[in-house]
Chain A
């Protein structure tokens, strides 16, 4: 069965420090991987995705994520956190293929990132 796990409910970081939000996945074959961010009272916003190619993917707002096939992980990172990065972050995975339910995104439970001044 396909699944994605975000092992941390909350991550606390001081402003200016690097941040990492963890994600691991389980799918058959090679996955498409996504990160989304949700600010309070807003919908989810796309940050970045991994489809193929370079394992380090750069996205919006200075975020990047590293795809690690051997560890089945896709951790979200940022070198220097901002208070405005405080939000709920979702990792998602989609199995490759077309038709039927294979087009779905499977979302993790979300990780709340809190960046303190």
Chain B
């Protein structure tokens, strides 16, 4: 049963610390998304990649957030330095997009981040 995995599931850190979240997309998927969910803002798209290339990261605060895909099996989202307002649940999702076909996105379980 193929799933998107995310680590860590929970992270508590202090303001100013670096946070790294990891995602393993489903094997064969060519598109990876990072979302942030908060009560106030709902689900926000932060960044996404296709075939490991970043296509859009306009949803991310550029000064502190960075997203990368070092290889096809790993996507990372880093926050440096972290701030209390970054507290949220961060979701990774993967999917397959090719030509005229588009399959649904599959979401990971999320990383719940708390910045004190």
Residues of A in contact with B (beta carbons under 8 Å apart): 32, 34, 36, 42-46, 49, 51, 90, 94, 96, 98, 100-101, 103-105, 107, 109-110
Contact = CB atoms under 8 A, between A and B. Distances in A.
A100 B97 CA distance: 12
B100 to A, nearest CB: 7
Contacts of A103: 31, 48, 50, 55, 97, 102
A43 B91 contact: yes
B54 interface: no
Given A44-B93, A103-B55, 16 more contacts: A42-B109, A43-B4, A43-B108, A44-B43, A44-B91, A45-B107, A46-B104, A46-B106, A94-B102, A96-B100, A98-B97, A101-B55, A101-B56, A103-B97, A109-B42, A110-B42
Nearest to A110: B42
Interface string B88-116: 00010100011110101111111000000
Interface of B: 4, 31, 42-43, 45, 48, 50, 55-56, 91, 93, 97-100, 102, 104-110
Contacts, number: 50
A49 B56 contact: no
B39 to A, nearest CB: 10
B98 to A, nearest CB: 8
A22 B94 CA distance: 26
B45 A34 contact: no
